[in-house]
Each structure stands twice: as structure tokens, then as C-alpha cells.
Amino acid sequence: MKAEVICTGTELLCGEIVDTNSPYLAEQLRLLGIDLFQITLVGDDPERLHAVLQRSLERVDLVIAVGGLGPTEDDITREAIAQAIGEKMCVDPDLEEWIRGVFKRLGREMPAENIKQAMLIPSAHPIPNPRGTAPGWWVKKGGKTLLALPGPPRELQRMWEKEVLPEFRSHLPGEVIFSRTIKTWGLSESRVDELVSPLFFSPNPTLGIYAKPDGIWVRIIARAAAKETAKEIIRSVEAEISSILKDHIWGFDTDSLEGIVMVLLEEKKLSLATVEVGFGGLLASFLSPSPQFKGGLTLNPQQAGTMFIPNIGSHIQHEFLSVEAALDFGEAAIRYFGTNLSLGVVGAAVDTGEKRAGTICIGVVGRGRKRTASGIYPPYQLKERAAFAALFELRRFLCELS
């Protein structure tokens, strides 16, 4: 099956907003095994939209039109579809009642213009939208399917997940698709590619490798006639990848590094403090939702350069930009916040003469153990990369604690 996505809205052509709906739909279609042929962004111009719809309907089996379902004059998607399909719109009494009900529950009269949203054509059935007043349209005609979905991502995603996806899943010709994402830290994208690509010699399963702020992700996508077969295909490849990437793997699918660390701290009933020297408080910001996180210190490198944490008197014994200094800062933080563990990171946002800008040193300490690491990241990514590098080391430390 081939598809096209058409997003309407003059704001998309003014650079005022970034379109996140089509990447979302692109990924969803991919997981369904539907080929996405083209994405087109057009303004709120009836003639243009009509021309784009017409051409897409000639080329593919499934056309998804996003946006333009509001009540105002600018909202022209319904009219353009009716014209492209060659049918007349009229008000659907059930839809009208539903929209009036939405306004009633808000304690308001339905504005006259909202009656537009109750319109249908004979080949369309409405798709419920509990997060707004614009129902979607599901049009089937002449072997083609056309979906009209609302533009606000919260409404579109809910409609896709609850209404469209189950219907597609139940009608796709006897094929299921499963995916599994393996998340790693500490290897380059090309190194991961080199290591895992040889496992993907056949068209099924397929492999995707993505560079993200929290490391390199490896995605396996498997197709099969039955659910269990698809899962089994993934299971065997995943086992092979795990035996290759080993300790670089920190999580799967929707896992986040900070989420995993928070769960481990809770399970092991450990409290944590952080010290960040030289590049800001992103680590404290990531960890702050956890009750196990007692607090964090962010220090200016000039301040830290005096070699002690003020008012604590814990003399930092080592060169400022070293893993030993990271451990010293961390031990001071344990005493200061009264925690079991600490995570200390020192970084150089600019060249220090001895060390290159982007250098970071990490120290995890507590419960009689310690773990250190260091790395160099592009200075413009330093804050984020340093925070993820530190979380990765903390996770390893926690996993190794009995």
C-alpha cells in the first residue's frame, strides 16, 4: 500500500511553526508497513489544495490530509475533499448534535460558524474527536482511502491511536509488524553500523540506526503473518545485538536514561546528590522529579577553581578538570546533602590551555565504591551530552551495586 500526507495551513509556509504531524504519521505508516510516497505542505488555498489532493489520489491508495478542519473561513479541507471526490456536503444531524453538546458542556452556545464541522459527504464517515470540535473524515471511494485529520497534534495523535490504527491493523492483509528499539551509549554511529549491519542480510527484519542526544538507537522492524512469529524474529536478532553491544546498551523502546536511573535509585533505596562544575545544572533538572534526588550544586568553574566548595572546607586535592576532582566534589556533596551517593561532573565549556573545550570528567561515589569516566563532546552540545554521559555512568554504577 502506498500513501501520501498533505498538510494544510498558511502558517506552515511562513516558517511560523514546525510541522511535527507528518514525521509522526510517517513513523506510524512505516510501522504499519505502508510506503509513504510524498509529504506536501500547502497553504489555505482551495484551488491549490484541490490540485494537490487530486494528484495524490491518482498516485496512491491512501491520502491523509492534515489540518483545515476548524470552523473558520480559512478551514477549507472538507470543501476541497468534496470537490476532489465529486460529492456534495451536507450537515449531518448526529454530528451537529454532538458538536452542540460539546459547547453545552463548556457552558456556551455553539457559534454559528461551527456548523461547518458537522458537514459530511456520502462517502465519508466521521471519526470521533474527544479532544476538540473537529471530527475527522474517513472517506472510501473507488478503491481509494482518504483520511482527514485535525491539525493540533494532541487531537491528531489521539484520533490516530484510538480510531485509525486499530481499524488499519484489523484490515491489513494478514501481516503484523513489530519494532524494538535498543538504546546505547559510548559508541559512534558508524561503529554501531559496522557492528550490527552484518546481521541484517535479508529484507526482514530491517534495521534503522539513529544518532540521538542520549546515544545511538538501533531499531529492528520485523514483519510476519502472525504476532508470535514477528516477535520471535525480533527476539533472535535482539539477542545477537545484545551479545555484540553488551554494556553499551542502557535501555529499550520508550526508556529514558533519567527514568531508568530514578527507578534504580528507588529500588535500591538510595539517595543522590549532584555537583556540576563548569557547564550548568541540566543534570539536576533531569533528576529533580525523583524523591531520591536530594539536591544539586551548580558551580562556576572560577569558583570551583579556588579548589574548595565554599563553606564546606572540603579541599579539592586534584587538578580541577580530572576524574579525581569529580570524585572529591562528589564526596563533598554527600556530606553536604547527607546522601548515600553522589554524581559529580566537571567540564570545560571553553579551552583551558591544558584541556580542550568540551572535555568532561565524571565521578560516581558512595557505599564504599566509585566509578569514573571522561569524554570530549562538541562544545555546543556539551550541556546535554555531559548530562547523558553522567547518567549512563550512574546507571552502570547502580547496576553493579548488589
- Interface residues with a second copy (CB under 8 A) are 12-20, 22-30, 36-43, 48, 52, 208, 210, 274, 276, 278-289, 291, 293-300, 302-303, 310-312, 336-338, 349, 383
For the bound state, the minimum distance from the C-beta of residue 303 to a second copy, rounded and expressed in Å, comes to 5
For the bound state, the minimum distance from the C-beta of residue 37 to a second copy, rounded and expressed in Å, comes to 8
Q: Can you read off the three cell numbers belonging to residue 39?
A: 509529504
By beta-carbon proximity to a second copy, the closer residue of 15 and 86 is: 15
By beta-carbon proximity to a second copy, the closer residue of 206 and 229 is: 206
For the bound state, the minimum distance from the C-beta of residue 103 to a second copy, rounded and expressed in Å, comes to 17
Q: Can you read off the three cell numbers belonging to residue 294?
A: 536530594
CA atoms of 100 and 106, how far apart (whole Å):
10
- What are phi and psi for residue 163, nearest 5 degrees? -110, -45
For the bound state, the minimum distance from the C-beta of residue 401 to a second copy, rounded and expressed in Å, comes to 21
By beta-carbon proximity to a second copy, the closer residue of 80 and 121 is: 80
For the bound state, the minimum distance from the C-beta of residue 30 to a second copy, rounded and expressed in Å, comes to 5
Beta bridge partners of 277: 299, 346
By beta-carbon proximity to a second copy, the closer residue of 121 and 309 is: 309
By beta-carbon proximity to a second copy, the closer residue of 75 and 92 is: 75
For the bound state, the minimum distance from the C-beta of residue 100 to a second copy, rounded and expressed in Å, comes to 22
By beta-carbon proximity to a second copy, the closer residue of 51 and 376 is: 51
CB-CB contact of 209 with 192 (8 Å):
yes
Write the DSSP symbol of residue 109: P
Give the distance from CA 235 to its chain's centroid.
23
List, as one string, the DSSP characters of 312-352: T--B--S-SSSHHHHHHHHHHHHHHHT-SEEEEEEE-SS--
CA atoms of 303 and 296, how far apart (whole Å):
16
Helix (H, G, I), strand (E, B) or coil at 92: coil
